[in-house]
Amino acid sequence: MAEHELENVHSLLLQLQDVLRQKFALEEEIETIPAALKGKETSLEKANLKYVELNDAYTKARQDATSNSIKYDDAVRARTDAEKLVETITQQREYEAVTKQIDEARVVENAYLKARNASTALVEELDAKLKAQGDECEHLKAEVDEEKAKIDSILAEKRSEIEALEAKSQEIRSEGLSDEIYSKFCKIVKNKNGLGITPIIQGQVCSGCHMILPMQFVNNVRLGVNPTEYCPYCSRILYYQEDDETIDLSAFEEESNEDFFADAISDDDFDSI
Ligand SMILES: [Zn+2]
């Protein structure tokens, strides 16, 4: 491959790398932005659920109160009817029977009075709780809506920035990158923390993963046998720099071993390659 063509591909890849880094960073931001909203939405869902539960309890308490009130009124009527009966009685035995009836009616009446008062108190208590819960739901809903509007506007802004970067990527691609190289490279930049193309340093070392490369491989890169050569250890695209001899490699040595496994080629790197 002619040297200028090779340089063109590498220069395009370096430009593309810059654009992709910005694009991927924005995509990552978009992922994390709605996290705060999710928390608020969960609170709202819980509050709404509690409101429904309270409302069910309130409805039941009201039915109980109505029913107890009717039973109480019936009991009062039964007692007063029996009391009226007393006035018409002349026989002692009948009098005792009706008096007993009145006493029993009074017991029932008191029991229903207590039940009615208790259920009425419960209705009032639940009514207050329901109102408070309704306020809480409204408050949370307003917060969710506000957060949503804020997020929507931020997301719209970021998405339009991403679109612009995507257009820029396509523009770079059209200047001389094959579909194959373009798609492989995008994937490598994404998987390799934004570094998809990197020079060979010290004559034989990948500056992406700091592994010593096979000499034959280095020669292929130097001679431009293929438009792109992928590091056999980290899968980044490598290019050759004639004047890199001054770079001090000792700075890389310590981390090179640790990085090897983290940086080693994974299936992910190649599933589209
Ligand atoms: Zn490498």
Q: Supply 194's token pair.
A: 């934004």
CA of 259 to the centre of ligand 1 (A): 10
At residue 244 the predicted structure's pLDDT band, cuts being 50, 70 and 90, is low
CA of 170 to the centre of ligand 1 (A): 26
Residue 12 has pLDDT above 60, yes or no: yes
Q: Supply 100's token pair.
A: 């007993």
CA 149 remoteness from chain centre: 17
CA of 48 to the centre of ligand 1 (A): 54
CA of 23 to the centre of ligand 1 (A): 23
pLDDT at residue number 263:
47
CA 34 remoteness from chain centre: 6
At residue 89 the predicted structure's pLDDT band, cuts being 50, 70 and 90, is confident
Q: What is the mean pLDDT of the chain?
A: 88
**Structure-model confidence comparison of residues 199 and 4, the more confident one:** 199
At residue 272 the predicted structure's pLDDT band, cuts being 50, 70 and 90, is very low
CA of 189 to the centre of ligand 1 (A): 13
Do the bridges between strand 197-201 and strand 237-240 make them parallel or antiparallel, or are there none, so unpaired? parallel
Average pLDDT of the residues in 248-252: 46
Nearest to 205 by CA among 243, 235, 231: 231
CA of 147 to the centre of ligand 1 (A): 44
Average pLDDT of the residues in 174-192: 95
At residue 254 the predicted structure's pLDDT band, cuts being 50, 70 and 90, is very low
CA of 233 to the centre of ligand 1 (A): 5
CA of 227 to the centre of ligand 1 (A): 17
CA of 196 to the centre of ligand 1 (A): 10
DSSP output for 96-129: HHHHHHHHHHHHHHHHHHHHHHHHHHHHHHHHHH
pLDDT at residue number 2:
67
Each residue's pLDDT tens digit, 100-131: 989 998 999 999 999 999 999 999 999 999 99
Each residue's pLDDT tens digit, 152-163: 999 999 999 999
Average pLDDT of the residues in 164-190: 96
CA of 173 to the centre of ligand 1 (A): 24
Cβ pair 23, 169 in contact under 8 A:
yes
Average pLDDT of the residues in 177-181: 94
Q: Supply 5's token pair.
A: 């063509």
At residue 34 the predicted structure's pLDDT band, cuts being 50, 70 and 90, is confident
Nearest to 52 by CA among 130, 111, 127: 130
CA of 253 to the centre of ligand 1 (A): 14
Each residue's pLDDT tens digit, 132-153: 999 999 999 999 999 999 999 9
CA dist., res. 126 & res. 58, Å (int): 6
CA of 264 to the centre of ligand 1 (A): 8
CA of 167 to the centre of ligand 1 (A): 29
Q: Which domains does the chain have, with CATH numbers?
A: 9-21+178-270 (no CATH), 35-172 (1.10.287.620)
Residue with tokens 């039915």: 63
Cα angle vertex 18, ends 10, 222, to 5°? 20
Average pLDDT of the residues in 83-95: 86
pLDDT at residue number 227:
83
